Every structure is written in C-alpha cells, then in structure tokens.
Structure 1
C-alpha cells in the first residue's frame, strides 16, 4: 500500500508559467482516493487502540490499592450454625479500620451504648462496669499481607484488647465493592463473622 505521505503529495506538474494536472496521477485518482481512505482508517484504528489500552491500564486498581485507607464501621454480624444472627456490638456499632500501604493495620470495634463509669475515673470502674467495657470492645493492630488468589489478607496481631490474640496469625476474607469493604472470618469450626465498613470521606 502506498504511504500516507505519497498519497498526500501534490498531483500537479509545474512548468515555467504553466500548471497542468499530472496525467498519470489524474487517470488513477480514484485509486489514490481509495488508498488514502484506507490509510486514514488504519491510522484512526491504531490511535483508538492505543488510547483504549492506555485507558485500561490507567483504570486498573490493585487489590491492595483498593484496601489501603481509612474505613468506618457499618455493621458487625455473627452467623451461628443454626442460622441465627448475633449483633454482639449492637445494632449501630462504632469502629474504625485503617490499612496503610506499608502493610500495617489497626481495627477497633465497640458498642456505643456502654454505661459510663459512676466514678468518672478511668481506673476505678466497678467489676460490672469493667466487664461491660471488655465485652463491648475489641481492638487489635499489627501487620498484614495480601493473598489475591483467594481475596484474603493474613494478619499478624501484635497487640489486642483480648490478650489471647496477642502474637497470633489470623485470616480475613475481603470483598470490596465501591466504597464498601466486607471482612469475613470463616473459622474451620465455628461461627462466621461479617464486618462491613464504609470508606471514610
């Protein structure tokens, strides 16, 4: 196929004081038009393909990039073996989860309706007040790594308000849709827990 520059070159032959159509080009002008249209169409397709590939590459977001950030708690639900559901932290639990790009996290969940200490002193709660505080709060922090194969994160608990978790390795299955994050605990034997978060604004 003739090149685009060849197809666009002038089709006149200049003589001193005279300008006439080049006969060979004139006789094949229809062929030049066809080639020109094909060449322009090929250029347009190539340009569109390049734009599409660039757009797709820019539009892709990794699993980790979707997870990183701050999330506020929407619900915490425990599903028991018999099908019943338990909202251990109430119908409107409060909480925050933070995942940074360096692989560290902190998660806090608590009941908003816990009774205040009568003494108004942090270290002077009654046994009943201390129990309600402990039962209505869970917080833990540490490091995490991502497994994209099964859409999960492996977390190492460096510290927790529940001391039995200290130093343990756990797993959370992750589902992200728009500004919603669901962290699911699926123990081999036990209740499934779904914790739903919303990306903080």
Structure 2
C-alpha cells in the first residue's frame, strides 16, 4: 500500500466517523416512502393543479441519502400504440406535461432535516446535474406529513403535500 493510499484510507475513516457522529441521536426525518396528496403551481398569481385534481406519485428517501420522485397526472390518456417510443406528438406532449420523474442524492443537517439535493437523472433532461439548496427547495416534515415548496428558475412556485406510506 502506498503512502497516498494510506492517507486516503485514513481520510475515509475520518470522514465516515464525522458523518456517523453527526447523526448520533438525530433521526433522518425524510427516510421512507411518501405518497402525493396534492400538487399545485402558482405562476403570476394564477394557481392551478400541477398534475390534475387527484395527482399520483411517490417520493422515496433511502437511509443512504438517495431519492427518487415520480409524479403523474392520472388523466393523461394512454398512447394508441403499446410501444413507448411510438407516441404521436400530441401523446408525447401530454405525457411530458403530465408527469415528471427524477432521482439523485440528498443531504440533511445534524438534526436530520433536508438541506439540498443533486439530480442525477430526470425525464426532463434540463434538470440533470441540478443542485438545489434550501434557497429554491424546502422540504418540511411534520409527523407523517411532508410539504415540498420549490421555486422554478422562471419564478413559478410549486407546492406539494405528501403523506408517509405505511
């Protein structure tokens, strides 16, 4: 083992120890599976349902600090073709406008509260690589309820309410 590898190994142990200590006594409040209850957007004072009046979707946070979020509007009609890549322009537009799916990594503070995330993959390619901090994305957990507030770059406000799945 080279000196460089020994130093890197010691650094990893120190980083792990600091990370583990930061969570001693503080439970990560996000861990679990959450079901969407409501989702609205507000643009220029106009408020509307983001994924229809009865949105479907889940948000999953793992203890390993990874997440996946999928939101859909159940009113989006099925494609005429059963082949995913063969939708018409109209079908593709409806599917894109009525759904979003993305995944990545997230961070929490010493109290186990959300502090930010990084999107590693998304059905909306422009989000890949996006780093969100509490300046534009807030997640607040209160028991079995979580509220997500997100401000898009164009100023549109997104408000989503989730409930913990048992």
TM-score normalized with structure 2 length: 0.75
The higher relative CO (CA closer than 8 Å, separation ≥ 6) is in 2
**Residue 177 of structure 1, aligned match among 119, 122, 142:** 142
Distance in structure 1 (CA, Å) of the matches to 2:94 and 2:151: 26
Structure 1 unaligned spans of 5+: 1-60
Counterpart-to-counterpart distance in 2, 1:152 and 1:194: 16
The 5 A counterparts of 1:21-100 are: 62=26, 64=28, 66-82=29-45, 84-100=46-62
Task: Looking at secondary structure, tell me which structure has more strand per residue.
Answer: 2
**Equivalent pair of 1:68/1:101 in contact (CA under 8 Å):** yes
- Which residue in the other structure is 1:18 paired with? none
Name the counterpart of 1:125: 87
Which consecutive residues of structure 2, in runs of 5 or more, have no partner in the other structure?
1-24
Moved over 6 A (4+): none
RMSD of equivalent CA atoms:
2.0
Q: Number of matched residues?
A: 138
TM-score, normalized by length of structure 1?
A: 0.63
Say if 2:30 and 2:114, in contact at 8 Å, map to a contact too.
no
C-alpha displacement of 1:148? 6.1
Q: What displacement does 1:163 show?
A: 0.2
The Cα shift of 1:189 comes to 6.1
1:62 Cα deviation from its structure 2 partner: 3.4
